Structure 1
């Protein structure tokens, strides 16, 4: 991992997932309800993203048995740009939809 990489909780998934300012998503170690009885341990790991139409990357996040698609560039903006929200239009500074690095310009 990059020594200067910063991590923030993913809004709505606090304690489960984090997003970095370079666009990586990781799950956090936690206990979840198992498919049968009891619980199972989810280990911390970097999640793989899926490239979709237009070259954008998305990742599937799960909470309480419900899985949803999330666009990585939007997750980075929500986590690192003050005042941003889910309806924010995020533009890629270099025009590369695969580059999810956080960069704020004035």
Structure 2
């Protein structure tokens, strides 16, 4: 799969995300005259293992989950009452072909199938 980059909604001309789940900041001029060059951001996991990045714009910091950014840029903004599904059960696989919007029920069924449900039961 070739890597394709798209603007992150609400962060156009600031950040882009790829169909492979990588985030980069774009070249831009700062008020003091120096330029900030393109840079691939280093993601960090939350307590459940989902990867996040800090986006900054106009002095504000926004910590965003990468899987949502991929779907929002390549598919659509999150439909009402939907959440992101990782089709292979790996919360760090943020490739577009592994993600889709789904209901909470569908996401819970995925967790049962993948053995990652936190209901105290183990599935093999």
Relative to the length of structure 2, the TM-score reads 0.72
- Please state if 1:78 is matched with 2:72: yes
CA 1:86–1:56: 2 relative to 1, 3 Å: farther
Unaligned runs of 5+ residues in structure 2 are: 101-124
Distance in 2 separating the partners of 1:39 and 1:86: 40
Distance in 1 separating the partners of 2:9 and 2:19: 14
3-state secondary structure, aligned to 1:54: coil
Distance in 1 separating the partners of 2:47 and 2:79: 20
Aligned to 1:67: 61
Computing the radius of gyration from Cα coordinates, the structure with the larger value is 2
Looking at both structures, which has the greater relative contact order when contacts are Cα pairs under 8 Å and sequence separation is at least 6?
1
Q: CA deviation at 1:85?
A: 2.6
Q: CA deviation at 1:93?
A: 0.6
Structure 1: 4+ residue segments shifted above 3 A? none
Unaligned runs of 5+ residues in structure 1 are: none
Distance in 1 separating the partners of 2:7 and 2:95: 16
3-state secondary structure, aligned to 2:93: coil
Aligned to 1:8: 6
3-state secondary structure, aligned to 1:55: coil
